Amino acid sequence: MTELVHLETAAGVATVTLDSERNRNALSRQLVGELADRLEQADADESVRAIVVRSAHRVFCSGADLSEAASGGMQEGARAIVALQRQIAAAATPVVVELAGPVRAGGLGIVGAADVVVAAESVTFALTEVRLALAPAVISLTLLERFTDRAAAELFLTGRTFDAAEAQRVGLVTRTVPDDALGDEVAGVVGDLVKGYPQGLRETKRLLNHDLLARIDALGEQVAAQSADLFGSAEAREAMAAFLQRRSSGA
């Protein structure tokens, strides 16, 4: 199989790059598994002080792989995404997400789990689950720790697209910068992180993510089961089939 997630390490920084252009970095079983593996490798590397997660292409992540979801059960897939969010939050090494392009649905769970998120001004977001007869069940584990209650209610229920500036206002994004300044801004963030001692970084993350990890541990299995039930429902299967048909026809 072609590798979908790459890992490079230099000068104390591990760069994890999503590279599944054919499906816009959808959260397929292969991509999620490789991402978890690369993150584990980076976190175990004693020379690494910061992990950057980015995309090789225009889209950061398009959400769940609907082709896989439409053809089989999602119980294990939902559990894997719960575990991925927990892995990011529990990592001893700070995780920085670099956003140069759109993020949809399940991809926001990766963003929500990260410690620092830097987004280009042109980036857009949407929680489109309700428009497919689904709910953002699994990613609510991280997003409800980031969003204000009112923002979560509106964005979860409407499924509308929102921009990077709004994402920063509601707590999803740490910093928004002009598109041509994204690389320099991320370099500045990781430049500061690599000055930290491993113990300091690890223990500070433990303080910051205590409540988030407690939420994941308490509700992870419940929301994974809810997500699997929704993906398997007749209403969602009909909605996903219609979406896939529209996409294949270019509508």
Report the pLDDT value the prediction gives residue 191, as an integer from 0 to 100. Answer: 98
Give the distance, in angstroms, between the CA of residue 87 and the centroid of all CA atoms in the same chain.
12
Tens digits of residue pLDDT in 134-185: 999 999 999 999 999 999 999 999 999 999 999 999 999 999 999 999 999 9
Looking at the predicted structure, is the pLDDT value of residue 251 above 60? no
Residue 154 contacts by C-beta under 8 Å, 6 or more apart in sequence?
none
C-alpha 139: how far from chain center: 8
Q: Whole-prediction pTM value?
A: 0.96
CB burial of 68-93 (b: ≥16 within 10 Å; e: otherwise) equals bbbeeebeebbbbbbebbbbbbbbeb
| Domain annotation covers residue 232 | no
Q: Does the structure show a pLDDT above 70 at 198?
A: yes
The amino acid sitting at 180 is D
* Residue 227 belongs to some domain of the structure: no
Q: What is the pLDDT of residues 70-119, one digit of tens each?
A: 776 688 999 999 999 999 999 999 999 999 999 999 999 999 999 999 99
- pLDDT, residue 69, reads 80
Q: Considering only CA atoms, which of 56, 37, 49 is closest in space to residue 116? A: 49
How much is the average pLDDT of 3-32?
A: 97
What percentage of the chain exceeds 70 in pLDDT? 98
Task: Indicate the number of domains in the chain.
Answer: 1
Domain assignment present for 242: no
Q: Residue 200 has what pLDDT?
A: 98
Between the alpha carbon of residue 226 and those of residues 41, 80, 229, 251, the distances in Å are 31, 14, 5, 30
Q: From CA 77, how far away is CA 97, in angstroms rounded?
A: 22
Could you identify the residue written with the tokens 């979860």? Answer: 156
Say if 52 falls within a structural domain.
Answer: yes
Q: What integer pLDDT is reported at residue 250 of this predicted model? A: 66
Predicted pLDDT at 223: 97
Residue type, 89: A
Q: Which parts of the chain are beta strand (E)? A: 5-10, 13-18, 50-55, 95-99, 103-104, 116-120, 124-126, 161-163, 175-177
Question: Is residue 13 domain-resident?
Answer: yes
Which amino acid type is present at position 32? Answer: V
In Å, how far are 2, 126, 199, 232 from 116, measured between CA atoms? Answer: 29, 19, 18, 34
DSSP assignments along 139-170, one per residue: THHHHHHHS-HHHHHHHHHH--EEEHHHHHHT
**Token pair listed for 179:** 């598109």
Check which CATH number belongs to the domain holding 173 and give it.
3.90.226.10
What pLDDT sits at residue 73?
66
- For the CA atoms of 19, 213, 134, 174, the dihedral, rounded to the nearest 10 degrees, stands at -60
Structure confidence at residue 27 (pLDDT): 96
The reply to whether 61 falls in a domain is: yes
Determine the pLDDT at residue 29. 94
Domain limits at 153?
A: 5-180
